């Protein structure tokens, strides 16, 4: 068998997340369907670095699987994209990797980006790709609130009640809030980096930081929420449409040879 890693981009609006779901179309399902057009894949199927929720987008999802045939990576990428042309899923890179490589367990860092569009008129071109808020946001206040979240903490307040992780403790390496002015309104980008995240952790953090930016709570309230270790202390959860799985990092990078 030959193991391959795939870097995948997708528009999440059409899919029930990455993971296969009964009665719903997932990214995994359409990707494995494209693979099966080339050759049968094992019962284990594909393994992804992150199980994105319904509506969440990806610019750098990574998955791996075993194939019986040996493929030249560029040819495999082009063949898969030909079978995916009717879907909003694309393969950006393919790499042949060793049997010890795991898209999930070999990852050393996951990077997510959340996009907020702050302006009165709703988006037309970016509808479904950003969280639109009609009010101004104080980015400096959001940055002060975000500082309380960086480091190793018990994130019980900021994880879904359905989270299956054994421990709520995670290390958030960085949480950067950036302002990008536009001709009409502004875009706020929130970039989170960590080895791993809890279920809906980022959307929960962003939802609370938006309340800070709107002036409804003070930045120090984020520290109080964190210390409460109580899901009911969390602010509203930000919608899925603004969240992107931006990148998965590995050492060494299996795609580096492909440029």
Q: Which residues are catalytic?
A: 53
Query: Do 158 and 234 meet the contact criterion of CB atoms below 8 Å apart?
Result: yes
Strands 89-97 and 109-118: unpaired
Both structure tokens of 208: 């609370």
CA distance 254 to 205: 31
Cα of first residue to Cα of last residue in the chain, in angstroms, is 25
CA distance 164 to 221: 27
DSSP calls for 205-221: HHHHHHHHHTTSS-TTH
Interacting residues of 78 by C-beta distance below 8 A, sequence separation 6+ = none
Both structure tokens of 188: 């706020």
């Amino acid at each position: 068998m030959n193991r391959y890693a795939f870097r995948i981009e997708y528009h999440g609006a059409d899919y029930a997340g990455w993971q296969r779901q009964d009665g719903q179309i997932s990214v995994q399902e359409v990707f494995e369907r494209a693979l099966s057009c080339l050759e049968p894949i094992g019962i284990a199927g594909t393994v992804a670095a992150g199980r994105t929720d319904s509506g969440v987008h990806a610019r750098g999802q990574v998955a791996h699987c075993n194939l019986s045939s040996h493929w030249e990576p560029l040819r495999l990428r082009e063949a898969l994209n030909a079978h995916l042309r009717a879907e909003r899923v694309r393969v950006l890179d393919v790499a042949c990797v060793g049997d010890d490589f795991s898209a999930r367990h070999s990852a050393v860092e996951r990077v997510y980006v959340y996009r907020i569009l702050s302006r009165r008129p709703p988006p037309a071109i970016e509808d479904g790709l950003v969280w639109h808020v009609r009010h101004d946001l104080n980015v400096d206040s959001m940055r002060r609130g975000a500082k309380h979240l960086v480091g190793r903490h018990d994130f019980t307040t900021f994880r879904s009640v359905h989270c299956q992780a054994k421990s709520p403790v995670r290390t958030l390496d960085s949480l950067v809030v950036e302002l990008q002015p536009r001709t009409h309104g502004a875009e706020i980008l929130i970039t989170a980096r960590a080895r791993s995240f809890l279920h809906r952790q980022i959307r929960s953090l962003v939802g609370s930081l938006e309340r800070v930016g709107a002036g409804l709570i003070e930045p120090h309230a984020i520290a109080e929420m964190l210390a409460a270790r109580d899901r009911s202390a969390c602010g509203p959860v930000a919608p899925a449409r603004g969240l992107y799985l931006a990148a998965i990092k590995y050492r060494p990078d299996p795609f580096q040879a492909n440029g």
